[in-house]
Amino acid sequence: MQSLPGFRDFLPEDCARRNYIFARWREVARRYGFVEWEGPPLEGTELYKKKSGAEIVEQLFNFTDKGEREVALRPELTPTLARVVAAHEREFKKPLKWFSIGQFFRYEKQQRGRLREHFQLNCDIIGENDLAADVELVALCIDILRAFGFAEKDFVVRISDREFWTDFFRDKKVPAERWDDLLQAIDKSPREPREKTAEKLGDLADPVFAALKSGRKSAKLEQLVEGLRARGLADFVAVDVGIVRGLAYYTGIVFEVFDPAEKFRAVAGGGRYDNLISQLSDGSLSLPALGFAMGDVVLGELINGTSRTREAMQKAIANDSKIDIYIVIAKEQRRADALAQIQQLRDRGYRVDYPLTPTKVARQFQSAEDLGARVALLYGDEWPQVKIKNMGTAQQELVAGDKLLNRLVELL
């Protein structure tokens, strides 16, 4: 029996790496005043059909449930967020700053950096029109990557503005019904042969290619970069109007994060979607919104591929996996006394391990070392005294059983 293509098994080391990523995500999102929330993993298929755009709908893991409902495993969080906010917005002061960490499913062609399940951090700000929110969001995205040890040379946030293109289309008198298809064609253009893009763009091919080449930007984009410059973060970003994002709901500033050589797919992406909540609530509620998601797959590859970030991760994981105390049971008669103590130590929050069955003393000390214990406690002939061995210095001392807890507080 094998796992399905594109699905991962998480062995303990993989879980440790995943938890390391989650911990940094959570830590920095909280530093920015974001609060955590979560949605359901299964939603009505309609939600995505209406809101995400054609590409994601093709990739849905969907089925009819036993109640004859059309349902889909979530491919992304944004439509759920819009649905939840539309239902609960009165309960919260604006702007909302919400983050969420969860698993998502897309029936994609498997390729480097793209699987059929992945984890995302989503960070969204709801109820703020001002560009200050866009600056804050991009800064958060940069700081999350910095928290893993990445520097300016390790990644670039490519920033663009969909309004640059909608203004461009308006200027060229392109009917609004064509805009979505044109934006999709521009989004795919870096990954497709020029002729194919030209065919999709039709009469607009030449002016679009010229605009892409010109490096022009809007005043809004310049302001955004200035906002980041004031925080010392401008060197992490590059304006690139070729970024338009595949999802249908974006309305303004959009961005994607790549490794500088663009060896990998995007590590994160997001932007403004000011109309989505209004569309989902059939116009009864209108709230501006913006957000991004960062995936664990490309991020994991980038961390592994950069020695600084890989070492930081390995160090953090090694520290986190260590136990505090290993109990060596040298005489089986002392097992009951040792277990009573183990219970007390664990109640106090120490990480404690011991051999479940009789084991040679040398092997027990080996386990103490393998598990990274800071001290080993030896229960043997010395009882009612216990021998404490400092595993770092190999120093040993004898302590009376009833004084042990106090001595451990001093040592650990």
**Positions that interact with ligand HAM (CB under 6 A):** 76-78, 106, 108, 114-115, 118, 120, 122, 124, 247, 266-270, 291-293, 295, 297-298
Nearest CA to 124 among 153, 94, 150, 158? 94
Nearer to ligand HAM, 267 or 375 (CB): 267
Query: Could you give the CA distance from residue 252 to residue 249 in angstroms, rounded to a whole number?
Result: 10
At 72, list the tokens.
């889909």
Length of the chain, please?
A: 412
Shortest distance, position 316 Cβ to ligand HAM, whole Å: 21
DSSP class of 281: T
| H or E element that contains 176 | helix 176-188
Nearer to ligand HAM, 289 or 377 (CB): 289
Nearer to ligand HAM, 76 or 161 (CB): 76
The string over 233-244, giving b where at least 16 C-beta atoms fall within 10 Å of a residue's C-beta and e elsewhere, is beebbbbbbebb
Query: Could you give the CA distance from residue 394 to residue 365 in angstroms, rounded to a whole number?
Result: 11
Shortest distance, position 236 Cβ to ligand HAM, whole Å: 16
Nearer to ligand HAM, 79 or 328 (CB): 79
Shortest distance, position 120 Cβ to ligand HAM, whole Å: 5
Question: Which residue lies nearest ligand HAM, judged by its C-beta?
Answer: 295
Nearer to ligand HAM, 160 or 341 (CB): 160
Nearer to ligand HAM, 76 or 324 (CB): 76
Shortest distance, position 253 Cβ to ligand HAM, whole Å: 11
- DSSP bridge partners of 62: 72
Nearest CA to 179 among 195, 158, 200, 210? 200
3-state DSSP assignment of residue 278: helix
DSSP class of 93: P
Shortest distance, position 110 Cβ to ligand HAM, whole Å: 9
Nearer to ligand HAM, 118 or 200 (CB): 118
CA distances from 47 to 51, 149, 346 (A): 6, 37, 47
Is beta strand 375-379 parallel, antiparallel or unpaired with respect to 325-329?
A: parallel
Shortest distance, position 106 Cβ to ligand HAM, whole Å: 4
Q: Are 64 and 70 in contact (CB under 8 A)?
A: yes
Shortest distance, position 132 Cβ to ligand HAM, whole Å: 17
Shortest distance, position 59 Cβ to ligand HAM, whole Å: 8
Query: Could you give the CA distance from residue 270 to residue 124 in angstroms, rounded to a whole number?
Result: 9
Query: Could you give the CA distance from residue 121 to residue 37 in angstroms, rounded to a whole number?
Result: 11
Nearer to ligand HAM, 77 or 408 (CB): 77
Nearer to ligand HAM, 208 or 290 (CB): 290
Query: Could you give the CA distance from residue 95 to residue 88 in angstroms, rounded to a whole number?
Result: 13
Shortest distance, position 77 Cβ to ligand HAM, whole Å: 6
Nearer to ligand HAM, 55 or 353 (CB): 55
| 282-285: long-range contacts, CB 8 A cutoff, minimum separation 24 | 284/86, 285/86, 285/89
Shortest distance, position 58 Cβ to ligand HAM, whole Å: 13
Specify the amino acid at residue 8: R
DSSP-based helix, strand, coil % in the chain, nearest 5: 45, 20, 30
Sorted by sequence, the CB contacts under 8 Å of residue 188 that are 6+ apart come out as: 197, 246
